[in-house]
Chains A and B, each alone.
Chain A
Amino acid sequence: MKEIDARRLLCPMPVIRLQEAACQMPPGEEIKMICTDPGVMSDIPAWCKVHGHRVVQAEETHGEYHLVVRLQ
């Protein structure tokens, strides 16, 4: 699983990082995003929805937001 450290990045930068990685990777692969901007909890699922990808995990731990996206 590819991991992207998007700490300190404000939306929409985490989404842009995810998008850049997603277009280099085949369907079925997973990307883990580690973020600090709470906006990712709505932006990443919204971006996944319009591109047909799936958020398989989304949780807040110690002020960080961890999301795992499975590419479709």
Chain B
Amino acid sequence: MKKQPKAVSLISGGLDSMLATKLILDQGVHVEGINFFTGFCVEGHTHAIRQKDKDKKKRNNALWVAEQLGIKLHIIDVVEPYKEVLINPKHGYGAHLNPCLDCKVFMVRQAYEWIHKHDFDFIITGEVVGQRPMSQRKQIMPVVARESGAETLLVRPLSAKNLPVTKPEAEGWIDREKLHGISGRTRKPQIALAQQYGIDDFAQPAGGCCFLTDRSYSKKLGDLWGHRGHKDYELDDIMLLKVGRHLRPKANFKMIIGREEGENNFMEGYKREFTHMKTVSHAGPLALVDGTLEAGDAQLAARILARFSQGKEEKRVDVVLHHKDTAAEGKVISVEPMREQDVSKDWYV
């Protein structure tokens, strides 16, 4: 190959994909980054919503990595095609609702389609053999290469020496000797490599790159699926699982109660799509109701909401209820706030 080879790198925003990219850039390859937005990515969302997080640094780590490396980054919206991955993972779920192996296959397949469309030569990922319990075990790495269709066009620069020779190595587009043979869960080799490159301040996501590895988030998603009777979801559904307290006092409805101003403001944007309620006699949070309220449920929901308002110790609290699909003024219900001990722990999703 006389022309400069071109590679696309899957940039997660973490250290490994950053180092993998750097190793290939250093070999004179033209590299551009690609980052997939599934709707479950940890990046910034809840920070943007919650008031108490307002002062936290709100950088998008994938963009930060691209800036540091001086490469272009294409952020691709895969919310729709990702649904199939999450709803029906061929290889099943990890510890929670994280379909990591199917997810990797999906992302590499997307990257493979991307290189064809943009006339690039190969794909890079920051995967390390034996690092993660599910998708990065050595015997599983070939599955990603095979099932994605990328086959020998998939290079893992951090673990290359532990894996079969790929086409870019065989063709001499890159030098295998300059790639690494890192394996296992230790982070020491990556940290040492980062130091060598003078990289600090990199993001170290706890657990994984998305909310699906989070126990509490997965529990909420499981509850949503279970009560809807199907696994279909919209972007708004999965965004709302990231905000508020979720309480399901009865099978037919769930309340999402804002925990602070930032969340209430964010939830305001959903008032048209959801039946919602708010205390009016006292300051209090906004609650969205997911599901349908049957006879007596409005009272129950209002009493619960009153419990989370400033009037929680008062005899009566007025709550205004707006049914979705009705443009009419809300209906005011006067209720006695539920006692703390009556808000069952089992209601918390």
Contact = CB atoms under 8 A, between A and B. Distances in A.
Nearest to B236: A8
Contacts of B45: 10-11
Contacts of A16: 37, 75-77
A15 interface: yes
Given A38-B48, A47-B73, A13 B37 contact: yes
A50 B72 contact: yes
B269 A46 contact: no
Interface of A is mostly: helix
Interface stretch (B60-68, B84-92, B94-102, B217-225): B60-68
B73 A50 contact: yes
Contacts of B72: 50-51
A37 B48 contact: yes
B307 to A, nearest CB: 29
Nearest to A51: B72
A2 interface: no
Contacts of A38: 48, 54, 58
Given A8-B269, A12-B37, A50 B63 contact: yes
Q: Classify chain A: how many residues form its interface, as a range.
A: 10 to 19
Given A10-B48, A13-B37, A50-B63, A42 B58 contact: yes
B58 A39 contact: yes
Contacts of B62: 12
Interface in B205-262: 239
B237 to A, nearest CB: 14
A50 B67 contact: yes
A10 B43 CA distance: 10
B191 interface: no
Interface in B167-207: none
A10 B239 contact: yes
A10 B60 contact: no
B30 interface: no
A19 interface: yes
A39 B45 CA distance: 9
Contacts of A19: 74-75
B49 interface: yes
A46 B60 contact: yes
Interface string B4-48: 000000000000000000000000000000010100010111011
Contact of A39 (B44, B70, B71, B76): B44
B59 interface: yes
Contacts of A50: 63, 66-67, 70-73
A8 B267 CA distance: 10
Contacts of B60: 11-12, 15, 39, 42-43, 46
A70 to B, nearest CB: 17
Given A10-B239, A13-B77, A16-B37, A47 B44 contact: no
Nearest to B270: A8
Given A8-B269, A13-B37, A47-B63, 15 more contacts: A10-B239, A11-B44, A11-B60, A12-B43, A15-B60, A16-B75, A19-B74, A19-B75, A39-B44, A39-B48, A46-B60, A46-B63, A46-B67, A50-B73, A51-B72
19 contacts: A10-B44, A10-B48, A10-B239, A11-B43, A12-B41, A12-B44, A12-B75, A15-B63, A16-B75, A16-B76, A16-B77, A19-B74, A19-B75, A37-B48, A39-B58, A42-B59, A47-B73, A49-B67, A50-B66
Interface of B: 35, 37, 41, 43-45, 47-49, 54, 58-60, 62-64, 66-67, 70-77, 239, 269
